[in-house]
Amino acid sequence: MTDIERVGVVGCGLMGAGIAEVCARAGMPVTVVERDAEAARAGRLRIVRSLDRATAHGKLGAEQRDAAMARITVADRIEALGDHDLVVEAVAEDEALKLDVFTRLDAVVTGEHTILATNTSSIPVIRLAAATSRPDRVVGVHFFNPVPVLRLVELVPSLLTSPATAARAEHFVTGTLGKEVVRTRDKAGFVVNALLVPYLLAAVRMVESGSATVEDVDRGMVLGCAHPLGPLALTDLIGLDTTRAIAESLYAEFREPQYAPPPLLSRMVEAGLLGRKSGRGFHSYDAEPQRAAAAPAGPR
């Protein structure tokens, strides 16, 4: 059994919606907070569509779908999270934005034992914990996109996270949600992104230098290495803006050339070519653009 009975999520983009969905499917009441009423409506629709897809593919019964959705409340005021046992921050991969969220959470969350978790994919947890008066109860709980499908979660205690907080978070993730946990030290990129992002950036540099086309780079890794997605298609799924943000965080920490964002990646982000969520990145997509920062199909 877990002592976590109510879960809050800040942000209802791809990651926040996925985290809310898996918690609700595990039987937990969930409150998701977005920045305004319009974003809250869009976030709720994102969750409904994901549950409908799971039902259409036979992974979820209609009654289970309806029960999961009934457990989810989508709000537009952070005060709605005041009495929750676990609150997961899942906003865009922007340090200033995340710091603001943690400052606000620290002011409104009243529970003496509430865990404040961050889903950051690259920012050191201690920086976010320092924005609160309770750094011992802040921990990194890094899910991967798509959250309902991928089983991995990186558990990232900071230097100030208490052993009890880390243990409670891990028990919830493994016991309640049925995910697999890897523990990692609190350094930029953690395990998965520290390995993955240099690979993605190398693919961008290969295209930038004219060594190979986008199609040939992706086809080479799919057919030659049995990867389910080529690196540039994966970058599109993650979001080029998110990929750049992770790379910048890694480079700022380690100052190693393989982490530096290539100019082509930066120019594409500046042009609004963000990948699947904008309809165009290294590839073009017919699907309706999706708002929110996506995350790796293995990372984030």
Active-site residue, 249 included: no
Instruction: Spot the catalytic one: 34, 84, 93, 142.
Output: 142
Active-site entry in 119, 193, 249, 278:
193
Determine whether 121 is an active site residue. yes
Q: Which of 93, 154, 170, 248 is catalytic?
A: 154
Which residue out of 50, 119, 121, 249 is catalytically annotated?
A: 121
Taking Cα atoms as reference points, which of 169, 107, 101, 94 lies closest to residue 134? 107
The span from the CA of 183 to the CA of 157, in Å, is 8
CA proximity to 13, closest of 97, 70, 80, 79: 97
Q: Is 53 in a helix, a strand, or coil?
A: helix
Query: Which positions ≥6 away from 264 have C-beta within 8 Å?
Result: 204, 205, 207, 208
Is 162 a known active-site residue? no
Quote the CA–CA distance of 227 and 220 in Å, as a whole number. 9
Pairwise CA distance, residues 77 & 35, whole Å: 7
For residue 70, what are its two tokens? Answer: 């009934």
Just list the catalytic residues: 121, 142, 154, 193
